[in-house]
Amino acid sequence: MTQARRTVWAVVRAALWVMLGTAMLLVPSAMGYLSYKESVPEGWGRLLGFWSFVPWSVAIPLALVAAALGYAYRDRVVPRRRVLCAAAAVALVAYLGLAGAYYLGMAGDSYVLRQSISLFERVARYAAWCLWGVVLVAWVMPVPGASEPPASPIDGRPGADALTEREREVAELLVSGSTQAQAAEALGISASSVSTYRSRACEKLGLASLDELVPPSRGAAAQPPELDVGRAGSLPLMALALFSGMIVHNVTNYSSLVSFDHQAGVLAFPVLALMLPWIVLLAYARLQNMRLRHRKVSGRLALVVIALAGLGLCAGGSQPIWVELPSRSMVSASVPAAVGYDIALALLAPHLLWPRERVAQTLDVERCVLYLRGRGAGELQARVLVEIALGRATPEICESLHVARGTVSAYRAQGYERLGVHSSRELADLLARDVGFVPSAGKSEPFAEGEKNAE
């Protein structure tokens, strides 16, 4: 297909997509307007204009969120574009059919039937608008061209030719920053199989760990990895954006019942709800000798975050939950949104808080790993336990060893039970006694033989 034909076809697809959105917006409006004019005496129908029947509902900003998520997962959406386009067409027909049945009075005088049609019409409306947003990415936008795959750090290493196809896939996913859980999901295998292939790949490549291919940076000066859709920390950030939009909505759409005397309180609520949790977080960081470190956000995650903030700004007061205060004023759904905002920030905090400084420690990692493996721990579990003994935070361990938070928690519990310890300090003391290093006491050198015997 020539470039001119591709351009024409792209314009046709874009025009059809615009027509689809226009139909969803104007056809139900026209039916609602006609039903109104037929239900009032002649001459009164002009009092209410056509545009007042246009359904400017929350489904429209929700469609933008769907488009942003579709763009974030474009590699999964584009191969399914035919199915998504067919689903969008079915949803459009269902929405327009149910809207016609509701506005044109096809339910007759039956209240139950009319309410049922109204409910299904809302469901079809939201489905149609969401699929309309996804179709923008899957069908209208040009398909990204195939690019040269990036060079693999495994190529050229001794033993690379001996790797099986599955071992290479697992190794490249883990080296690129994927956790074991993400690699298992991407390849359609279990996490234990990923661990097995990882061990085999390390053995054939002559490595103690895949981290040797990409040496991780540690400590307070280490650059945290980029936050992206699907990675740890992205979901709390998206929830934070949604709830912040709902809180800000409190300023732009508060009840007319609130008197002028209470407007200061209405304005103060979003300020306190947005700022007070951050003040508490900063105070906690200061007490724990930690700091907030900037995290780079990928472009596609930023797009999703902006869309969710817009959705919250539009949806925060559309179906308000009114709560009467002692002053007889009202507050809307921004109040439960503030609770959700606090929870989202608490879940995001471990991905923002980092040590202020880290004293360089020369723990003989390989000796500790061999010791822990001799006590029955697997290779990955031994490395997790060593990181815990060094005082690393769970997010640091996840990023360093490319494992999920649940894996770290499970290995910690199993390791503590196997070794008969109950805390990271007891684990460090155990390594000090049996290996010769005291991370909990700030030792940076192994014990000398005389000093160890003096113990």
Chain segment 20-48, per-residue pLDDT in tens: 888 888 888 777 777 766 665 555 445 45
Which bin fits 443, alpha (ψ -120 to 50), beta or left (φ > 0)? beta
User: What are the contacts of 363-369 at 24+ separation with CB within 8 A?
Assistant: 363/389, 363/390, 363/431, 363/437, 363/439, 364/435, 364/436, 364/437, 364/446, 366/208, 367/435, 368/431, 368/435, 368/437, 369/208
Q: What is the tally of structural domains in the chain? A: 4
Both tokens of residue 30? 């026209």
Please indicate, yes or no, whether residues 277 and 347 belong to a single structural domain of this protein: yes
Judge whether 221 lies within some domain: no
Q: Using CB atoms within 10 Å of the CB of residue 47, give its burial: 0 to 12 exposed, 13 to 18 middle, 19+ buried.
A: exposed
How many Å apart are CA 44 and CA 29, to the nearest integer? Answer: 18
**Mapping DSSP to helix (H, G, I), strand (E, B) and coil, where does residue 330 land?**
strand
Choice between 180 and 418, residue whose per-residue pLDDT is larger: 418
Q: Is the pTM of this model over 0.95?
A: no
Judge whether 125 lies within some domain: yes
Decide: 318 and 231 in contact? Cβ < 8 Å: no
Judge whether 33 lies within some domain: yes
Q: Kindly report the average pLDDT of the chain as a whole number.
A: 75
The pLDDT of residue 332: 56
| 71: nearest Cα among 136, 129, 15 | 136
The pLDDT of residue 240: 92
H or E element, residue 355 = strand 353-355
Please indicate, yes or no, whether residues 242 and 324 belong to a single structural domain of this protein: yes
| 290: nearest Cα among 219, 237, 339 | 219
Q: 84: which residues sit within 8 A by CB, 6+ positions away?
A: 77, 131, 134, 135, 138, 139
Please indicate, yes or no, whether residues 123 and 61 belong to a single structural domain of this protein: yes
What value does the mean pLDDT take over residues 86-101? 88
- Using CA atoms, how far residue 378 sits from 195, 209, 317, in Å, is 10, 12, 53
Judge whether 224 lies within some domain: no
How many Å apart are CA 424 and CA 133, to the nearest integer? Answer: 49
Sign of CA dihedral 310, 314, 317, 319: negative
Please indicate, yes or no, whether residues 250 and 344 belong to a single structural domain of this protein: yes
Please indicate, yes or no, whether residues 292 and 195 belong to a single structural domain of this protein: no
Judge whether 223 lies within some domain: no
The pLDDT of residue 279: 92
Q: Which residues pair with 234 in a beta bridge?
A: none
Both tokens of residue 402? 């490319």
Both tokens of residue 84? 């998504």
Q: How confident is the model at residue 147 (pLDDT cuts 50, 70, 90)?
A: very low
**What CATH number has the domain bearing residue 447?**
1.10.10
Which one of 355, 380, 399 terminates a domain? Answer: 355
Sign of CA dihedral 28, 30, 35, 36: positive
Please indicate, yes or no, whether residues 15 and 125 belong to a single structural domain of this protein: yes
Please indicate, yes or no, whether residues 26 and 86 belong to a single structural domain of this protein: yes
How many Å apart are CA 67 and CA 303, to the nearest integer? Answer: 9
Judge whether 146 lies within some domain: no
Decide: 335 and 321 in contact? Cβ < 8 Å: yes
Which bin fits 83, alpha (ψ -120 to 50), beta or left (φ > 0)? alpha
Please indicate, yes or no, whether residues 30 and 72 belong to a single structural domain of this protein: yes
The pLDDT of residue 194: 82
Please indicate, yes or no, whether residues 79 and 111 belong to a single structural domain of this protein: yes
Domain that holds residue 379: 365-454
Please indicate, yes or no, whether residues 333 and 422 belong to a single structural domain of this protein: no
Judge whether 122 lies within some domain: yes
What tens digit of pLDDT does each residue of 281-329 get? 989 888 877 778 777 888 888 999 999 888 887 765 444 444 444 444 4
Please indicate, yes or no, whether residues 384 and 345 belong to a single structural domain of this protein: no
What tens digit of pLDDT does each residue of 382-407 get? 888 988 888 788 887 887 777 788 88
Both tokens of residue 71? 């763009």
How many Å apart are CA 7 and CA 15, to the nearest integer? Answer: 12
DSSP string across 247-305: HHHHHHS--TTS-GGGHHHHHHHHHHHHHHHHHHHHHHHHHTTEEE----B-HHHHHHH
Please indicate, yes or no, whether residues 246 and 319 belong to a single structural domain of this protein: yes
Judge whether 229 lies within some domain: no
Both tokens of residue 201? 């790949």
What value does the mean pLDDT take over residues 398-420? 85
